[in-house]
Amino acid sequence: MDRSFDMCSNHNWRRLSYLIFVFLFVSANDAAMLEKISTVMLKQLKIQKLKEKFRIHDLDHNGFITNHELRYVMSTTDKQARKIVDKATDKQVRKIIKAADVDNDGQISFDEFVKFIENDEK
């Protein structure tokens, strides 16, 4: 699964580079085109960042985040997160998984991760 993310990442960056190239050479009179390109570029960047975040949490690179992986990453990534996790219980970690786990399989897929992050940002 990790390899497919890498291929997607390279493809997305090539695509983004092309969009930047087009963006620079599109006439200023075509405001709608510029807006659409900007929107696509921002969406690609957001997806790339989400894939990177997901990859950090998916320790075994099987395409899912488990309770164990989430707790481990939360406890090791940064000082502020460690303070939270030191006080976090397994029950609280399971609660986070349950909130994001749409299909109730006990783990978080990439699609579930994206939906959870987008809902959290609202």
Give the number of domains in the chain. Answer: 2
Give residue 23's pLDDT: 66
> Do 74 and 122 lie in a common domain?
yes
Q: Is the pLDDT of residue 4 over 50?
A: no
The C-alpha atoms of residue 122 and residue 118 are separated, in whole angstroms, by 7
- What interhelical angle do 67-76 and 79-87 show, nearest 10? 130
Q: Which domain holds residue 88?
A: 63-122
> Do 49 and 71 lie in a common domain?
no
Asked if 46 and 18 touch (Cβ cutoff 8 Å), the reply is no
How many C-beta atoms surround the C-beta of residue 71 within 10 A?
19
Q: State the CATH number of the domain containing residue 112.
A: 1.10.238.10
* Banded pLDDT at 35 (limits 50, 70, 90): confident
The mean predicted confidence, pLDDT, of the chain is 78
> Do 72 and 97 lie in a common domain?
yes
Residue with tokens 């983004």: 16
52-87 pLDDT per residue, tens: 999 999 999 999 999 989 888 877 765 655 555 555
> Do 16 and 30 lie in a common domain?
yes
Give residue 25's pLDDT: 66
> Do 71 and 105 lie in a common domain?
yes
Contacts of 81 (CB under 8 A, 6+ apart): 74, 75
> Do 73 and 35 lie in a common domain?
no
> Do 84 and 48 lie in a common domain?
no
Give residue 90's pLDDT: 77
Give residue 103's pLDDT: 96
Give residue 50's pLDDT: 93
Domain limit, last residue, from 57, 76, 103? 57
84-108 pLDDT per residue, tens: 555 566 788 889 999 999 999 999 9
> Do 79 and 113 lie in a common domain?
yes
> Do 101 and 51 lie in a common domain?
no
